[in-house]
Chain A
């Protein structure tokens, strides 16, 4: 039985750019995040810096493409450039910077940006994933 569609290593386009739909950051996001993590904003008029970072993978789930067949999230580098405030509307843009095949799966490095409603890049960095190759019995996607 074939599982749900996934985006495998072979499907990833090097230098491909993906823009996600946007989401407005609310008091509810901050409250739920702070209650879950006890990570509080440094200043009351800002959202905790790690919250937009935590929201980017989920924004990536809302593009018209099956989810990446992630075997492991290996790590990331991240830079906070500007504060995000409640009421800001953010989306994420990612670009595949590296695609390296390995024996088991392959490594994908994505350059990601979090962009606000004024088009300003508020956070950016690089995510590194280990991604599965297409199993021989899986139907092609897309």
Chain B
């Protein structure tokens, strides 16, 4: 069995755009994320209190949306030969509610060489959209991606 293919730094081009499949965010997602993270803020856990809030119901943790979009990125095509995430700049623009279906739209906005010769940095601009095409989260991530190994 050959290893799954990955895209090297050299193969990624500025301007490439990706759109992920959709992912419906469920009550279970929010409960599991609260349990995992220990963030039991009433925004995410108290249905009765949230009825009288501006949102009208519980909303997903912002960082749950961030984690889900990161998973969606891996489903947009052939994954990068990623060594890791370098930096993130992120804005939460609107709530993700139970039953919302979110997807990721991403675009490669920059590439730069690294001081370390075996890798480079790829900047990906990202928007998380809901089923009404509203941007609920957006930001920029710098990914450290491996160069094609020299033989």
Contact = CB atoms under 8 A, between A and B. Distances in A.
Given A32-B32, A57-B37, A58-B38, A77 B71 contact: no
Interface in B11-40: 29, 32-33, 36-40
Contacts of A70: 41, 43
Interface residues of B, number: 35
Interface string A58-83: 11011000010010111111111001
Given A32-B36, A54-B63, A75-B90, A37 B70 contact: yes
A36 B29 contact: yes
A40 interface: yes
B47 interface: no
Nearest to A51: B67
B38 A61 contact: yes
Contacts of A37: 64, 67-68, 70-71
Interface stretch (A10-18, A42-50, A93-101, A109-117): A42-50
Interface of B: 29, 32-33, 36-41, 43, 49, 61-64, 66-68, 70-72, 74-75, 82-92, 139
Interface of A: 3, 29, 32-33, 36-40, 42-43, 46, 48-50, 53-55, 57-59, 61-62, 67, 70, 72-80, 83, 125
Given A36-B32, A36-B67, A125-B88, 8 more contacts: A37-B64, A39-B70, A54-B36, A54-B37, A57-B61, A58-B37, A62-B38, A78-B88
